Amino acid sequence: MSTPQCRLCGHELTVTFVDLGMSPPCESYVAGEAADAGEMFYPLHVRVCEECLLVQLPTYVAAEDIFTDYAYFSSYSTSWVQHAKDYVDLARKRLSLDGSSFIVEVASNDGYLLQHAVAAGIRSAGIEPAANVAEAARAKGIDTTVAFLGERTGREFATTHGQADLVVANNVFAHVPDIVDFAKGLRALLADDGTLTIEIPHLLRLIEGREYDTIYHEHFSYLSLLTTQCVLEAAGLRVVDVEELTTHGGSLRTWSMPIESADAPSERVAEVLAAEAEAGLHTLEGHIGFSEAVAAARNDLVEFLVECSRKGATVAGYGAPGKGNTLLNHCGVRTDQLRFTVDRNPMKQGMLLPGTRIPIHAPERLEQERPDYILILPWNLRTEIAEQLAYTREWGAQLVVPLPHLEIF
């Protein structure tokens, strides 16, 4: 097999960031009637480019095979919908958006964000590759085009809809194998004096928090501000400001403009770059050592589950997120240690988790089974979920989060 090449600079990828072995695609949930059928497993071997420092997963699974029919609906997270509303309110004030403005969101999912722009009277449109999810957005009255964004599709969309004053790309930048073509598509959508915002999980926080469950086949790139700047500049865009967010274990929201009209970068850009440099992320050597941290996190969870099994304590899961599937498959967890999990998304209920074949039920199953421990798989939503699970204290259940450190509360 030939050596994979960097998707940003084309350099050969020979340096390992972390190797999580083999795993099925994290959103490939298995129908109950297919419980005895086989599954495809692919490597989760993440490399770092020694030339441009982009941390990346080779394209083991085509994006079309992952995103054409998708099981993730953003609106099932109350806190995420509120996060989107807060962002829309902020962008309206910062950019003076009104009824004459135009907003485009790429990977607009089920309309979780654009619904707030529409409610404010701002013309809005979404671009979403998953037809089933786009249908949910259209049901909310949001103009949604089913497409994968690239430079060509961006130009076509701008020709029919006009260029946007604001282009939004939340938690999608890492999901595209041809990241430069995608960035050029974002530029094509944007007016010459417009603004692009993207939200990305921050590589610095992933390393600090041992957040290795955010590594899966639909995340092709793991970005620092340094590498994000490089990608955007290749498409004619310049980062002019950045915010540090708590979402997804620690994220960045960058504000960018076309280079020809961009302001000078803010002091916050310099501060984040300095923090990355201090942590070693502007050198190849600073990326080495994550494998040891991952092994320690895995051991903590496995030892907890083994001890529960030995003392006869029952453990159930809460949530069926993609990140949970990376975690459970890497740790070798099966139904003898995690009997079932529950999820609010009815599309997942009745299905089995990929690889582990752990069944997914409606949340009411917790009340029926009354497990001793509940493992919160979307641990980044621990506050919201802990509130939802307050009733489980009635039978003495304890909640568990696996990362960044195993915690029982």
Tell me the Ramachandran region of residue 222: left when phi exceeds 0, alpha when psi lies from -120 to 50, beta otherwise. beta
**Reported pTM:** 0.88
Q: Reading across the β-sheet that carries 373-376, which strands appear in turn?
A: 360-361, 341-342, 315-318, 373-376, 398-401, 407-408
What is the Cα–Cα distance from 328 to 46, expressed in whole angstroms? 18
The answer to whether domain 74-287 and domain 290-408 are alike in fold is yes
Element (H, E) at 305: helix 290-311
What is the structure's pLDDT at 60?
Answer: 82
For residue 20, what are its two tokens?
A: 């999580």
CB 162 within 8 A of CB 100: no
| Average pLDDT of the residues in 181-203 | 97
pLDDT of residue 249: 82
Amino acid 67: pLDDT: 55
In CATH, the number for domain 290-408 is 3.40.50.720
Question: Mean per-residue pLDDT for 306-332?
Answer: 97
CA–CA gap between residue 392 and residue 311 (Å, rounded): 20
What is d(CA 326, CA 216) in angstroms, rounded to the nearest whole number? 6
Q: Is the pLDDT of residue 69 over 80?
A: no
pLDDT score recorded for residue 78: 81
CB atoms inside a 10 Å sphere around CB 87 = 20
CATH architecture of the domain with residue range 74-287: 3-Layer(aba) Sandwich (3.40)
Containing H/E element for 123? strand 123-128
Instruction: Parse the chain into domains and list their residue ranges.
Output: 74-287, 290-408
DSSP state of 60: S
C-alpha–C-alpha distance, residues 339 and 336, integer Å: 6
